[in-house]
Amino acid sequence: MSFAVELVSPSQRVWSGQAEMVSARTIDGDLGILTGHTQLFGVLVDGTVTIKGTDGSTTDFNISGGFLSVANNRVSILTESVN
């Protein structure tokens, strides 16, 4: 089971593909997303976003604030800048 993930910044699409799990830190605390998550829109704080791809790879991104939206098995992470 997997879902589509997109990590976008204003100037480019940083990461896109299928993933098994995404974890990120919102204002309220850490959040993990698996397939079939309810529709959600959250505010992210500075921190690390981890995307576990279907090919078994795990990628970490350091983001400075942003948003996370989950809808119809599609996750988009919007951030101003990625390191």
Partner 1 sequence: MGAQLRIYRRRMRSVKATKKITKAMELISASRIVKAQQRVTASTPYSLELTRAVSAIATYSSTNHPLTTPSEKPIRAAILIITADRGMAGAYSNNAIKEGEQLAGLLRERGLETVSYLVGRKAVNYYRFRNRPVAASWTGFSDNPTYENAKEIADSLMNAFIADAQSDVNGVDEIHIVFTEFQSMMTQNAVARRMLPLEVVENSEPIPAGLLPMYEFEPNAGVVLNALLPRYIEARVFNAMLQSAASEHAARRKAMKSATDNADELIKSLTRLANAARQAEITQEISEIVGGADALASASAGSE
Q: How far is the CB of 74 from partner 1 (least distance, A)?
A: 9
Q: Is 77 exposed, middle or buried (0-12, 13-18, 19+ CB in 10 A)?
A: buried
CA 28 to chain CA centroid, Å, is 16
Are 83 and 11 in contact by the 8 Å Cβ rule? The answer is: no
23 near partner 1, rule: CB under 8 A: no
Residue 39 touches partner 1, criterion: CB under 8 A: yes
Q: Which of 38, 55, 56, 83 binds partner 1 (CB under 8 A)?
A: 38
List alpha helices for 1-83, DSSP H.
none
Q: Which stretch binds partner 1 (CB under 8 A): 1-9, 46-54, 55-63?
A: 1-9
Per the listing, tokens 């879902």 go with 3
List interacting residues with partner 1 (CB under 8 A).
6, 8-13, 26-28, 31, 38-43, 65, 67, 69, 71-72, 76, 78, 80
